Amino acid sequence: MMTVAFSSHHAEVLPFARREMERHQVIALEEPMSPNFSDMLEGRLPIDEYMLELDSGFPQFEKRMCAMLRELHHRGHQILQVDP
């Protein structure tokens, strides 16, 4: 099964996104690859430090998203960055 979803960068959508993401083994994010993404997911790089590398117009959303992705990763989900 594959789900393709589009959402705004508002923190209010994250609980809904989490429910959908939890249903899948592989989660592909539409974003450029970041060299420290895997370190952030593994917890070797604090989220706040990872955020310094991002040029985000939505820092609170990104911070919460990173925390959610880290949790999903630790629960066995594969998280990929895919820049179309």
The 10s digit of each residue's pLDDT in 4-46 is 777 778 888 999 999 999 999 999 999 889 999 999 999 999 9
Distances (CA, A) of 64 to 9, 13, 69, 71: 11, 11, 9, 11
Q: Which of 53, 54, 6 is nearest to 30 (CA)?
A: 6
* 23 and 76 Cβ atoms separated by less than 8 Å: no
Q: Which amino acid would we find at residue 20?
A: E
pLDDT at 1: 72
CB 81 within 8 A of CB 37: yes
